Amino acid sequence: MKLTMLKSKIHRATVTHAELDYEGSCAIDLNLMDQANILPFEQLHIYNVNNGERFTTYAITAPRGSGTIGVNGAAAHKASPGDLLIICTYAELEAKEAEHFNPALVYVNGDNAITHTSHGHLAAV
C-alpha cells in the first residue's frame, strides 16, 4: 500500500510579486528550494494563510538569495504581494518507507530568509 506523505514545506513565505500575464508557476528563491528539497517543475500545493485559497502549480527557480516568492499566471488571482503562503510538496511512499520518512520543513521570516529548518519535527505553536 502506498501513502501520500508530506515531502517538504516552506512555512509562511511572503509573496513578493504576483504576475497574471506569465506562464503559470511559482518562482521560489533557489536557497529555499534547496533547503526544502524542491526541484524545478515539481508540483506544489499552496495554501494562502491570508485568504484561505488553496491551489496547485509547479516550481520554477528564482535567483539564489533573492527572497523571491512569485505567484504567476492564473494563480496570481489567488495570492497578492504580502500574503503569507504555506508551500508543500508530497510524495507517494510505501507504508514501511513512510514509517521512517522525515519531511524537510523550512521556516522563514517576513523577508523569506530562513530562520530554521527541521526534518520531520513540527515547530511548537
pLDDT in tens, 36-58: 999 999 999 999 999 999 999 99
CB hemisphere CA count around 125 (13 angstroms) = 2
Catalytic residues: 25, 58
How confident is the model at residue 123, as a pLDDT?
A: 56
Element at 12 (helix H, strand E): strand 2-14
% of the chain residues with pLDDT over 70 = 96
pLDDT, mean over the chain: 95
Q: How far apart are CA 102 and CA 49, in angstroms?
A: 24
Which amino acid makes up residue 83?
D
The total of other beta-carbon atoms located within 10 Å of residue 123's CB is: 10
Residues 51/52/55/57 CA torsion (nearest 10 deg): 50
